[in-house]
Structure 1
């Protein structure tokens, strides 16, 4: 019996292609989930594994759907072997039921999957460092302009229409941000100026 497992990392990604290809590969049942590959607890993956009897086969669309750390993949592969379960990765062309060649391919592609993950992380860090060196920030754009923060500072320094001192909460609410964000932005402006 072939059991399929499909996974994507984010809610925005689509599982349709993987599921279609798993059924086309002869899977009788497919478990799927939207969860990061680095997450250690994958409930649907655990269900897939527990539903496979000795002599059965776990089928994935691509090896990296299981993870990208070579040591974890090799440990997983060894566990499958001890349980008498075969493994197929459709797009990687791995089929451990084909004997030693399938096993060697699994080991090699596990190493490449980890290498790919490390290279992606390295390129991302280099890109962020280059952007930071140019003064560009990562993350979401500020909701409120620096000019609005300067206006908020002047409001905080002047009394309201009743002659009372304005509160940080009321000024922050007036410009559409939280009190904590207002004071954080004020501090940042003082450092820049």
Structure 2
């Protein structure tokens, strides 16, 4: 029997594309998760592993829907193989039912891990280069330094409520509190 597994990372993403592909591939049952691949708890996958039997095949739309990492993916494939269960990935056209399919699976999985590591390294290098040029990242301050000082002064004078100060300056309470903390740090460091 073909048993499908679909996963999306967030509630905003839609499972319909994966469901349709799995049904078209002939899956009789489809189990689903709406959780990050990094999360340990994936009840849909756990259920698949409970019901799948020797001779069945686990079908996924793409390999990255199944494993959190290359190590996790390979461990899962070995677990399935040990139970006599195959793995089919529709997007990559891989089936571990054959020796060549197993080889292709390992090559694709290794390349996917390599690509993720390259992206991570490039991101870190870009952030480091930006920091070296004096860029801190994050959102720009809502107010210029003079208005930030005014916010702190209004707060210290205690003539207006926090809500009134925020409304007057067009900022949120957390923004005001961060400016207050910034002002205290500057006062403590400068005086």
Q: Normalising by the residue count of structure 1, what TM-score does the alignment of the two structures yield?
A: 0.80
Looking at structure 1, the residues matched to 114 and 68 of structure 2 have their Cα atoms a distance apart, in angstroms, of: 8
Unaligned runs of 5+ in 1: 161-165
Which deviates the most, 106-115 or 61-70?
Answer: 61-70
Contact 1:70 1:114 in 2 (8 A): yes
* Structure 2 residue matching 1:182: 3-state secondary structure: helix
* Structure 2 residue matching 1:104: 3-state secondary structure: helix
Looking at structure 2, the residues matched to 138 and 10 of structure 1 have their Cα atoms a distance apart, in angstroms, of: 25
- Equivalence for 2:28: 28
Looking at structure 2, the residues matched to 141 and 34 of structure 1 have their Cα atoms a distance apart, in angstroms, of: 33
Looking at structure 2, the residues matched to 113 and 172 of structure 1 have their Cα atoms a distance apart, in angstroms, of: 50
Matched length: 183
* Structure 2 residue matching 1:112: 3-state secondary structure: helix
In the alignment, does 2:102 pair up with 1:111? no
Looking at structure 2, the residues matched to 4 and 105 of structure 1 have their Cα atoms a distance apart, in angstroms, of: 20
* Structure 2 residue matching 1:14: 3-state secondary structure: coil
In the alignment, does 2:178 pair up with 1:181? yes
- Equivalence for 2:15: 15
Unaligned runs of 5+ in 2: 167-171
Looking at structure 2, the residues matched to 117 and 62 of structure 1 have their Cα atoms a distance apart, in angstroms, of: 15
Looking at structure 2, the residues matched to 72 and 28 of structure 1 have their Cα atoms a distance apart, in angstroms, of: 26
Contact 2:5 2:58 in 1 (8 A): yes
Q: CA RMSD in A?
A: 2.7
